[in-house]
Structure 1
Amino acid sequence: MRAGRTLRRIVMDRIIAQVPDLGGRVFDKATKSEEFPYATLGSSYWGDDSVECVEAREITLQVDLWHSSSSKGALEDLVDDVTAALNGWADTVTLTMHPARISLVRIMDDPDGVSVHGVIQIEALVEG
């Protein structure tokens, strides 16, 4: 099952399509020179949620949003937009999945002193 990689790709595609204020700047991993605001996909993990005759995983994926430290309000707006794009969404054409749900949202100052950081944690049950 390659569901984790597929989920990362379709989440990136969904954010790019639904959150135009990011200007398409959604990366699996960004470079230090990337222009604010942008999103990256952070850590992920999964647990086996299989039942008899159906192989399944509950995948948790972190989406990180980054903006300049002078724009915490703008970052909160972007976090709201990404949350709205992902909560209850499922791409059942690409992946056999149940609607995603948001399990955690957090906004914080980044220790680098240059940026603010938003964290959105999504969970999706995928079959395959």
Structure 2
Amino acid sequence: MSVSVSLQDVILNKLQADQAIVALVGSRIYDGVPENAEFPYISFGATDYSPDDADCIAGRHETIQLDCWSRDQGRKWPCKALADAVKKALHDIDADMSNGALVSMTVTLVRVIDDPDGITAHGIVQVTAIIEDE
């Protein structure tokens, strides 16, 4: 398993174990969003990393975007509540990875915007992890 997949698994497991997240979205946390998905839900978005090798240790700074989606008559507050719950569940956590070692993980950005359809709110939660590759 790649280090990136291992990090995504850590994030997924943390979200699935968080009672506030489960209360808001149930099991609707997707890597690929199914057609006609029920709102609200969370999906994995863009990801990137920059190598950060030092002192003979291979490492990386990896960023994953989590997208929070709600549809409540154009109101943003349900999406804000979901994005805040994701931030709380993932900010500054410790976790074991199946591949690599998580040095730190922080939420570096939370943003909620209107979707062009006028009824969907889109929350963006950016998570950055420092990882030692093994």
TM-score by length of 1: 0.92
Using the TM superposition, give the Cα deviation of residue 68 of structure 1 relative to its aligned residue in structure 2, in angstroms: 0.1
Alignment partners' CA distance in 1, 2:66 and 2:97? 22
Partner AA of 1:101 in structure 2: T
Q: Which residue number in structure 1 is paired with residue 5 of structure 2?
A: 5
Q: Which 4+ residue blocks in structure 1 deviate beyond 4 angstroms?
A: none
**Aligned-partner SS, 2:103:** coil
Alignment partners' CA distance in 2, 1:117 and 1:63? 10
- Give yes or no for contact 1:97–1:125 (8 Å, CA) kept in 2: yes
TM-score by length of 2: 0.88
| Count of residue pairs the alignment pairs up | 128
Matched, 1:77 2:81: yes
Q: Higher mean Cα deviation, 3-12 or 59-68?
A: 3-12
Alignment partners' CA distance in 1, 2:126 and 2:91? 10
Q: Which residue number in structure 1 is paired with residue 38 of structure 2?
A: 35
Q: Which residue number in structure 2 is paired with residue 64 of structure 1?
A: 67
**RMSD value, Cα:** 1.5
Within the candidate set 99, 110, 126, 1:105 is matched to: 110
Using the TM superposition, give the Cα deviation of residue 108 of structure 1 relative to its aligned residue in structure 2, in angstroms: 0.6
Using the TM superposition, give the Cα deviation of residue 69 of structure 1 relative to its aligned residue in structure 2, in angstroms: 4.2
Identity of aligned residues (%): 29
Partner AA of 2:26 in structure 1: G
Alignment partners' CA distance in 2, 1:99 and 1:79? 20
Q: Which runs of no fewer than 5 residues in structure 2 stay unpaired?
A: none
